[in-house]
Amino acid sequence: MPDQKRRKGDHPGTLIIIGGHEDKEHDMVILKEVARRVGKGRLVVTTVASHQPEGYFESYQEAFKKLGITDLTELYIAERSEAMQEEKIKAFDDVKAVFFTGGDQLRITSQIGDTPIYSRIHEIYDAGGLIVGTSAGASVMCETMMIEGKGGESHRIGDLRMAPGLKLIRNAIIDQHFAERGRMGRLLGAVAQNPRVLGIGIDEDTAIIMEGQEYFTVLGDGAVYVVDGSGVTHSNIADGANNQILSIYDIKLHVLSEGDAFDLVHRRPIEVWKLKDQQSPTQHDVPEQKPVRKKTEQKAAEKT
């Protein structure tokens, strides 16, 4: 659901949230969409999620070069103190888009949360810019993110760890590598903890595109699973013993593929033809973003 605290008239930017392992060599459907939106603007690829970032940036540099992106730079932060350095902060001057690569989502928040870089990212988004995340970089977009939980089996109570994310999306929790790693159980476990939160599971080489906070469209080779717990009538999440299998009643599931859209306000799939009159995010021209040059008051990623 949209962030109700945004002021009327605010124009948030675009989020492209990828389930990981996006194609970098063949059709590159998702990266082409990123490149189309970046255009001749500056793109920062941040590899902060990785403990060993060698090779991450180079793979994206090669792919984006094929797609015509020439103004591309890497940002890596080995220690949190570096996120306070003027040189690192200036890397975001006049930036149109930021791309978070995969790794460990907790490393992203622990390194940049409540720093000038965190503020910069929100400034870029609030000014109409593009924020992209893949794998760990997808999960970190949420107000609350999953950081640990077993896949490939039914969810057991107590087997899930969550933490504050970057708060670019409210009222939703995102999981990635979804079908490939059998993560339906743990997404159900996350939704059971607070059914107000919409669960979104994204397959590999698949993305959701959110222009603003009201709906998303699906792009890519796999599926997007939306778990809606608003109608849940019972679960044992609070009363069950630790390690007991989760039970939950009256959960709703939607499965979407490329070209489908989802209304985050009313929690319903949208027929694509209805979006065309509103200019679908994958079809219309990208709104011009005003460059962000001035620092604003720091915002805390950990504030909930």
Residue 134, CB half-sphere, CA atoms under 13 Å: how many?
22
Catalytic residue among 139, 204, 211, 235: 204
Helix axes 105-112, 116-126, angle to 10 degrees: 110
Q: Give the strand pairing for 215-220 and 261-263.
A: antiparallel
Inter-axis angle of helices 29-38 and 56-66, nearest 10: 80
Among 135, 139, 235, 280, which one carries the catalytic annotation?
135
CA distances from 184 to 2, 74, 106, 149, 150 (A): 24, 33, 21, 11, 10
Q: Active-site residue 81, yes or no?
A: no
Active-site annotation holds for 211: no
Q: Which of 21, 123, 177, 235 is catalytic?
A: 177
Residues 6 or more apart in contact with residue 271 via CB below 8 angstroms: 261
> 190 Cβ partners below 8 Å, 6+ apart?
146, 149, 160, 162, 173, 175, 197, 199
* 135 catalytically annotated: yes
Rg over alpha carbons for the chain, rounded to the nearest Å, is: 18
**Distance (Å, whole) CA 100 – CA 90:** 17
Catalytic residues: 135, 177, 204
